[in-house]
Amino acid sequence: MPSVRGVSTACAATLPLAVLLTGCVSTQTVAARARLVDARIIASQTGTEVTRANPAVSAGTPVVIRNRTGSAIVVALRNESARALTDLPISVGVRMRSGREFYLNRSANLDYFASHVAAIGPHAATAWVFTTGTSIPSGRPFVNVGFSQLHPTPTGSLPPVEVSLRASSGGVSLELSVVNRSAIPQYDLPVYAIALRAGREVAAGRTAVAHLGTRGTTTSTISLLGSSRYDALRLIASPTIFS
């Protein structure tokens, strides 16, 4: 039985191969990057529902954050294995008192990384954020992390991508600096911001950087959902291209 169930289908788009050419790399490497990006586009056209949990990944209890303009859900994750894990499907939702499960990210045509974890290093911890412009119903939040269907193979350690705060407006609009420290270009790079007060998540947001070239730097803006009163920020940028 498959561990990830597709819930609808649609036609796929394809990025031009030339878009993935950065620096002096082999034709085989460029083609492999193109295939990976294309496979993700195809996967995003089909809704994802994880039906079997991956024992290599430990997931904390999801934290639901609500405000007037939308909702966010934050999940702490840890890779218990000795190898990097990438492209992990993830389902989040709430179980209501009636027993019904309400999925938040099962729909087709979502951004691929709204239903997948880009990467977790060996024995490493990270966090994943989902945001929506609608309210999340009351209930007990749940998360299921599955097995990668794409299996891109990182060579060595994951490419280092750093993110830092440049400026903040009212505590809810953040201007970030995102730096690719590797020679590997990044595409559709997910960036997360999690605001904490006394160690507890009180606001969160997500965005994506469409392209970050070899050893490149860019700025990006995230709007936090939740409280503007916090004493710490956790900023995460997960690599998406690994060789």
Length of the chain as a residue count:
243
CATH class, range 4-145: mainly beta
| 42 membership: H or E segment, kind and range | helix 27-44
Fold of 161-237: Immunoglobulin-like (2.60.40)
pLDDT for the residue numbered 6: 63
Sole residue written with tokens 């690994």: 242
pTM for this structure?
0.89
Question: What are the domain boundaries of the chain?
Answer: 4-145, 161-237
Fold: same for 4-145 and 161-237:
yes
CB burial class (10 A; 0-12, 13-18, 19+) of residue 142?
Answer: middle
pLDDT band at 26 (very low <50, low <70, confident <90, very high): confident
Q: Locate 217 and state its tokens.
A: 């730097």
Phi-psi region of 171 (alpha: psi -120 to 50; beta: other; left: phi over 0): left
Q: How confident is the model at residue 166 (pLDDT cuts 50, 70, 90)?
A: very high
